[in-house]
Amino acid sequence: MPTQALLSWSGGKDSALALYHARHDPRYQVAHLLTSVNAHYERVSMHGVRVALLEAQATRIGLPLTQLRLPEMPAMAEYDQAQQATLGSLRARGVEAAFYGDIFLEDLRAYREQQLARAGLRGEFPLWQRPGAELLREFLDLGFRAIIVCVNERWLDASFCGRLLDADFLRDLPPGVDPCGENGEYHSFVFDAPYFSAPISFTKGELVRRTYAPAAGSAAPAGADDPFATGFWYQDLLPA
């Protein structure tokens, strides 16, 4: 009997491709999606996508969605506590493994595996150490479609935000930018996938810039004159 698993679902391309591979692994049955959500704004953490669109993805996939609901700027201890409570609840419902779309960040994988071990789960990383350009080509060849919803202006200017994730986008990326945005250069929203029951319709809303800077134990808003501040552009998407 296949092992019950959850999949860490951001709504973007990496988690979508990881789900594709997880569903083709006979050792596992993906039974739950797990997404971190900014409860203050009702949006997916980091990506800025509205919860209504996240829920539309889960409906089209046909899997139950668990939201790890967090305050706007949680401290790491607060985040870890909420995560352990959520993972423990899923473990009690029979989940024994967790899939992630991480590609090459060793410290992030080590953190995930440490947190999973505390909850009695093991991690699976089906995209691990595959070349980014190869992953993107596979993503597009399989028929996935996505739009860029967030860019870090240290690497990409605002013109990249709101673009479709396609061969032209990959061609236009500046030197030094990871093709999959693994360093946080950009985030995406998948609106069609081979396992969706139907594409998701949406319209573009505002293009918004927000500034953040690192703070002890969290990421706190900062002024534009902060030398450690980083600007992010967000393309708001409205459910059609």
Integer Cα distance of 100 and 180 in angstroms: 14
**What pLDDT does 213 receive?**
66
Contacts for 81 with CB less than 8 Å, ≥ 6 apart: none
- Cβ distance 161 to 155 under 8 Å? no
Q: Phi/psi of residue 84, each to 5°?
A: -65, -40
Q: Do strands 28-38 and 145-152 pair parallel, antiparallel, or not at all (unpaired)?
A: unpaired
CATH of 3-124, one of 3.40.50.620, 3.40.50.300, 3.30.360.10, 3.10.290.10: 3.40.50.620
CA terminus-to-terminus distance, the chain: 40
Ranges of residues in the chain with a pLDDT under 70 are 213-229
What pLDDT sits at residue 222? 34
Rounded to whole angstroms, the Cα distance separating 115 from 90 reads 14
Backbone dihedral angles phi then psi of residue 227, each to the nearest 5 degrees: -65, -20
pLDDT at residue 216 in the model? 46
| Token reading at 133 | 């350009």
Choosing among 3.90.1490.10, 3.30.565.10, 3.30.1330.50, 3.30.360.10, the CATH entry for 146-239 is 3.90.1490.10
Would you state the pLDDT for residue 60?
98
- Torsion angle, CA of 28/34/35/40, rounded to 10 degrees? 180
Structure tokens at 117: 């071990």
Residue 215's beta-bridge partner residues? 218
State the chain's mean pLDDT as an integer.
93
The pLDDT of residue 72 is 84
d(CA 153, CA 110): 28
What are the boundaries of each domain within the chain? Answer: 3-124, 146-239
**Those residues with Cβ within 8 angstroms of residue 171's Cβ, 6 or more apart along the chain or in another chain:** none
Residue 223 is predicted with a pLDDT of: 36
